[in-house]
Structure 1
Amino acid sequence: MTGGGAAVSVNTVLAELFAAAAHGCRDRSPLTQRLLTDAAADLERGGVTARIMAGSERDREGTVPGLRFAGAVHRLVLEGRAPGLAKHYPTAGGRPDLPALWEDAVPALTEHADLLRQRVQATVVQTNEPGRSAPLYGGLVVAAQEAAKVAGRHVPFCVRLLEVGASGGLNLRPHHVGYQLPDRVLGDPDSPLVLDPGWTGRPPADLDHRLRVVGRAGCDLHPVDVSTEDGRLHLSSFVWADQVDRWNRLRAALDLAATDPVRVERSPGPEWLAKQLARAERDVLTVVWHSVVWQYASPADRAMGRAVLADAAAKATPTTPLALLVFEPRRSDDPGEVYRFELLLKLWPAGLSLNLGHGAGHGTPFTWDVTPWE
Structure 2
Amino acid sequence: MLAELFLDAAAICREHSPLTHTLLVSAADDLTRGGITAKVMAGSECDRGGTVPGLRFAGALHRLVLEGRAPTLAAHYPSAGGRPHLPTLWQDALPVLDEHADELRALIASTVVQTNEPGRSAPLFGGLHTATHLAAEAAGRRTPFCVKLLEVGASGGLNLRPHRVAYRVGDTVLGDPGSPLVLDAGWTGRPPVDLAHQHLRLVGRAGCDLNPVDVSTEDGRLHLSSFVWADQLPRFRRLQAALDLALLDPVPVRRAAGPEWLVDQLARPERDVLTVVWHSVVWQYASPADRAMGRAVLADAAARATPMAPLALLVFEPRRTHPDRYEFQLLLRLWPGGVSLRLGSGAGHGIPFEWHTRPWV
- Matched with 1:259 is 248
Deviation at 1:37, TM superposition (A): 1.0
Matches within 5 A, 1:246-285: 246-285=235-274
User: Within 5 A, what are the aligned runs for 1:324-363?
Assistant: 324-333=313-322, 338-363=325-350
- Which amino acid is 1:199 matched to? W
1:3-43 deviation digits (Å, cap 9, x = unpaired): xxxxxxxxxx2111111111110221111111111111111
Confirm whether residue 372 of structure 1 aligns to residue 355 of structure 2: no
Q: Does 1:143 align with 2:131?
A: yes
SS of 1:28 mapped into structure 2: coil
Residue 194 of structure 1, CA deviation: 0.9
Match for residue 294 of structure 1 among 279, 283, 304 = 283
Measure how far apart 1:66 and its partner are: 1.1
Question: 1:53 corresponds to which letter in structure 2?
Answer: M
Alignment pair present for 1:106 and 2:94: yes
Q: C-alpha separation between the residues in 1 aligned to 2:241 and 2:209?
A: 22
Scaled by the length of structure 2, the TM-score of the pair is 0.98
SS where residue 34 of structure 1 aligns? Answer: helix
Where does structure 2 lack aligned partners over 5 or more consecutive residues? none
- The question of 1:323 aligning with 2:312 is answered yes
RMSD over equivalenced CA pairs, Å = 1.0
Question: Pick from 43, 50, 57: which aligns with 1:62?
Answer: 50
Counterpart in 2 of 1:7?
none
Cα distance, 1:182 vs. partner? Answer: 1.4
User: What amino acid maps onto 2:329 in structure 1?
Assistant: E
Which of 49, 52, 77 in structure 1 is aligned with 2:65? 77
Deviations 1:307-349 (A, max 9, x none): 111110111111111011111111122x8x6221111111111
Q: How does 1:113-192 map to 2 (within 5 A)?
A: 113-192=101-180
Give the distance between the partners of 2:263 and 2:151, measured in 1 at CA.
Answer: 13
Residue equivalent to 1:19: 7
> Take 1:288 and 1:370, find their aligned partners in 2: how far apart are those partners?
20
- TM-score, normalised to structure 1, is 0.94
Structure-2 separation of matches of 1:61 and 1:331 = 18
For 1:29 and 1:260, the matched residues in 2 are separated by 31
For 2:25, the equivalent position in structure 1 comes to 37
Find the aligned partners of 1:295 and 1:273 in 2 and give their Cα distance.
Answer: 18
Distance in 2 between residues matched to 1:54 and 1:301, nearest whole Å: 30
1:238 paired to 2:227: yes
Secondary structure of residue in 1 paired with 2:131: helix
Aligned length: 360
State the secondary structure of the residue aligned to 1:20. Answer: helix
Take 2:28 and 2:284, find their aligned partners in 1: how far apart are those partners? 22
Query: 1:373, CA displacement in angstroms?
Result: 1.3
Q: CA deviation at 1:54?
A: 1.5
Give matches, 1:207-246, under 5 Å: 207=195, 208-246=197-235
SS in structure 1 opposite 2:194? coil
- Confirm or deny: 8 A CA contact 2:9 2:52 kept in the other structure: yes
% same residue:
74
CA deviations on 1:231-256 (whole Å, 9 max, x unpaired) are: 00001001110011111111111111
- Partner SS for 1:343: strand
Structure 2 letter corresponding to 1:114:
D
State whether structure 2 residue 40 is matched by structure 1 residue 52: yes
The structural deviation recorded for 1:183 is 3.0
Among 294, 297, 303, the residue aligned to 1:314: 303
2:343 corresponds to which letter in structure 1? Answer: L
1:111 Cα deviation (Å)?
1.1
User: Tell me, which stretches of 5 or more residues in structure 1 are unaligned?
Assistant: 1-12
The residue aligned with 2:185 is 197
Secondary structure, aligned partner of 1:169: coil
1:68-105: CA deviation from partner (whole Å, max 9, x where unpaired): 11111100111112111111001111110001101110
Write out per-residue CA displacement over residues 151-178 of structure 1, whole angstroms, 9 at most, x where no aligned residue.
0111111110000010111000000001
Do the aligned partners of 2:151 and 2:208 also contact (CA within 8 Å) in 1? yes
Supply the distance in 1 between the matched residues of 2:297 and 2:43 (Cα, whole angstroms).
35
What is the CA distance between 1:285 and its match in structure 2? 0.4
What's the secondary structure of 2:190's corresponding residue? coil
CA contact (8 A) 2:269 2:304 kept: no
